Structures are given as C-alpha cells and as structure tokens.
C-alpha cells in the first residue's frame, strides 16, 4: 500500500512538471517604460515582431501609465525584434465631438512609432522615449 502511494505521488509530480507551459520557442520576459513628449504614455499598445531573418511569434500588450510587462510564457523570442508602439495622443479629443451621440464618436487619435531592439535570454528591461514628431529621413542623412 505504501509503495502504491509513493508511485502515485511520483506520477502526480511528473504530471505536474509536464504541464508547465513551455512551447520550446525560447520566449523571454519583457518589461519597461514608454514616454511621449517627456511624459509617461497614459494608454497605448506595444508589439514585438521578429526582425531580419528570425522567425517566431509576435507578442504584445497594453501600455498603461507609461509601463508594460509581457511575461515569459507569452513573450517574444530571443533575437532581433521590430517594436511597434501605438500611443493614444489625446483622449479628450473624441469627447469634444460636436455631436455627442455614441454612434458619431471617433476613436482616439494614435501616434505610431517603431524601433528595432535585440532581446537576450532572461528579463529584458527596455525604455522607449519619443518626441512630438519622429525625426525626418532628411535629418538622419546629414
């Protein structure tokens, strides 16, 4: 009887360890801060997509009060990533619409920025700061 209990406990432990969520893709945790015009972003979205020749899933989350956090079980993979950040720039503008009916409301305006980053194993802490206007292509060639 005691041996059966030990075997049951070992089987239960093996089952529990096998149920850990790991898709084998080498995902990593990513967290950080995003500012726009020197102020933490109130609301927005951040998305990581494999860049260059890397292949793998995209990962993303919301930005709230300037912060974001993607846990490793849902995170992007190690390597180069193209990061797209969408910032809600003026939450009050949609409320200023002359016609106050809900059917006439417009979604809040968004500013979109992108940047490439290199993610490594373990926790990746990132900070993104964006000006009012992205630098022009002409300015970067001078």
Domain ranges in the chain? 26-131
Phi-psi region of 118 (alpha: psi -120 to 50; beta: other; left: phi over 0): beta
Residue with tokens 């992108």: 114
Strands 43-50 and 67-70: unpaired
Q: What is the CATH number of domain 26-131?
A: 2.60.40.10
Q: What is the pTM of this model?
A: 0.68
Q: Give the burial string for 88-125 (b: 16+ CB within 10 Å, else e).
A: bbeeeeeeeeeeeeeeeeeeeeebebeeebebeeeebe
pLDDT in tens, 37-82: 999 999 999 999 999 888 889 999 999 999 999 999 999 999 999 9
pLDDT in tens, 75-124: 999 999 999 999 998 755 444 545 555 555 677 788 999 999 999 999 99
Q: How far apart are CA 92 and CA 96, in angstroms?
A: 7
């Amino acid at each position: 009887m005691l041996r059966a209990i030990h075997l049951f406990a070992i089987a239960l432990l093996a089952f529990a360890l096998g149920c850990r969520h790991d898709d084998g893709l080498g995902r990593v945790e990513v967290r950080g801060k995003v500012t726009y015009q020197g102020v933490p972003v109130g609301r927005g979205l951040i998305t990581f997509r494999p860049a260059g020749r890397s292949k793998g899933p995209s990962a993303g989350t919301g930005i709230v009060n300037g912060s974001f956090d993607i846990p490793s079980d849902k995170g992007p993979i190690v390597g180069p990533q193209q990061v797209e950040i969408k910032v809600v720039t003026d939450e009050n503008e949609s409320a200023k619409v002359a016609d106050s009916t809900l059917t006439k409301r417009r979604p809040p305006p968004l500013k979109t920025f992108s940047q490439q980053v290199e993610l490594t194993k373990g926790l990746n802490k990132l900070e993104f700061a964006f000006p009012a206007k992205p630098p022009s292509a002409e300015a970067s060639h001078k």
